[in-house]
Amino acid sequence: MFSGLEEAVYRNINACKQFAQSVRSAYGPNGMNKMIINHIDKQFVTSDAGTIIRELDVEHPAAKLMVLASQMQDAEVGDGTNFVIVLSGALLEAAEELLRLGVTTSEIADGYERALDKCLEILPSLICNEIKDTKNIKEVTKGIVAAIMSKQYGHEQFISELVTKACVAILPEKTTFNVDNVRVCKILGAGLLQSEVLSGMVFRREVEGDVSSAKNAKIAVYSCPIDIIQTETKGTVLIKSADELLNFSKGEESLLEKQIKDISDSGVKVIVAGAKFGDMALHFLNKYNIMAVRLNSKFDIRRLAKTVNATVLPRLTTPTTQELGYCDAVHVDEVGDTRVVVFKMESSESRISTIVIRGSTDNYMDDIERAIDDGVNTFKGIARDGRFVPGAGATEIELAQQLLEFADTLPGLEQYAVRKFAVALESIPRALADNSGANATEVVNKIYKAHKEGQKNAGFDIDSENNGVCDAKEKGIIDSYLLKFWGIKYAVGAATTILKVDQIIMAKRAGGPKPRAPAGSDDES
């Protein structure tokens, strides 16, 4: 059991500071990559905080609260996980200084909450761009570039265009946009610039039979093996002569042939199954010119059924017209030296689009996939709320400046906490500057100076040689309003929760005998 300031609160703050420090250096376009080897010895090389946090086994209970806050951000917005951790780490660091000066934790927490309310009040006035038409590819690409730039600096324009094409192609008229409908297929070889978007689905598989393409195909989807059906119970067949043996196997064959002929007669050109195709069944499928595709993943089968609008059938029966799916073209293609099966939908209302990523190593393609994932989530955010605030640390400094003015109007001890909140907000442009090798203090001072002169969108220019400042809006560095809104909210939530903990009581692991309390002492917990 740990209790009081020295033991519980400072310990928690230290653990969180170290944790925030470890992901802080991965923030921004020039953020360093981390190499993580997880519990099953799988290796990741990435600067995506969401992945880093997911693969780390965080033991410390206070640091876990920060992880939970950033996971909530991931679920809500899909990006900005690092922002939450860097900010909550900075808030706790600032709180530590106040605690040493004698301010109580509850006063700090109250001050932080006052500052949060003020921030959320100021944020709407900082909006610098709004995307109203989510089908306008040029506009949407501008909104996605910044999210991808922080992961793949240098290729952001190309990847953003891929993501925008994939998302706009499947944007539904009435319902909300589903992130799961943009699939990624990674194929080793060539370079990133050979990546492309296909409407429909791509699977890294071979077809089972001889037929390798079908146009305007009706599709039957089964979750069972395509083979001679095994009976439920075991039976013994007594065969007395060779003729009986021939007739017996012929009966089985003709039954299977009849089933496949019936399926063929209903117009099916492609059969997709989630289990194996028997040799006999393949023989008949080739005879009736039906293409056979096997998918091992039940999730892939579900997605495909949704794409082609088919019903997954649990046993080998002839599908009705309602159960059949339809696809404009199914064919085997060769990308690099990898054979793939492509289900291509020509119609504008295709339900799913696939981004085919090319790259030289698996690790590199995984990182591109993570960047694409952030881009797709940003598009989802645009579909919900198309407002943007300036990036590059401009929003944080403007908030900090207005908070400092707000602190002067507060009478109580809360004003110290509000001032420290403003200092904590500076940690975002500081992290950007540190990771770019610039002098963070000079950068922050220059941005403050520009904001004092009324340049609301002034942020850190990572391309400049002399710690320069740029107009974030003109440079196209814009962050989603939702990302900042939820990010600040979750960061403050995590920080205040950690500050309000003054006792950690660890229950002993089950199994061992509990230590006896010394005689005469009464346990105060």
Structure confidence at residue 231 (pLDDT)? 66
- CA neighbor of 194 nearest in space, from 367, 368, 376: 368
Residue 198 has pLDDT above 60, yes or no: yes
Domain ranges of the chain: 5-129+391-500, 132-189+363-385, 202-359
Residue 523 has pLDDT above 50, yes or no: no
Q: Does CATH number 3.40.50.10860 belong to domain 202-359?
A: no
Overall CATH class of domain 5-129+391-500 = mainly alpha
d(CA 244, CA 228): 19
Tell me the per-residue pLDDT of 465-521, one tens digit each, with 9 for 90 and over: 776 777 777 777 788 888 888 888 888 888 888 888 767 776 655 544 555 555 544
Do the Cβ atoms of 115 and 409 come closer than 8 Å? no
Q: Which CATH number fits domain 132-189+363-385: 3.40.50.1100, 3.30.260.10, 3.40.710.10, 3.60.20.10?
A: 3.30.260.10
Tell me the per-residue pLDDT of 59-74, one tens digit each, with 9 for 90 and over: 788 888 888 888 888 8
Alpha helices in 408-475 (DSSP H): 414-425, 427-435, 440-452
Tell me the per-residue pLDDT of 132-156, one tens digit each, with 9 for 90 and over: 777 777 777 777 887 787 777 777 7
Tokens, residue 36: 């993580």
Higher pLDDT pick, 6 / 222: 222
| Mean predicted lDDT score pLDDT of the chain | 79
Tell the residue number behind the tokens 């007669």, with chain if given.
265
Helix (H, G, I), strand (E, B) or coil at 22: helix
Do the Cβ atoms of 127 and 388 come closer than 8 Å? yes
Output the CA angle 327-331-337, nearest 5 degrees: 145
d(CA 496, CA 490): 10
What would you measure as the largest C-alpha separation in the chain, in angstroms? 105
Rg (CA), the chain: 30
Do the Cβ atoms of 364 and 155 come closer than 8 Å? no
Tell me the per-residue pLDDT of 229-259, one tens digit each, with 9 for 90 and over: 766 677 787 888 888 777 777 777 778 788 8
- The answer to whether the Cα torsion of 75, 81, 86, 89 is positive or negative is positive
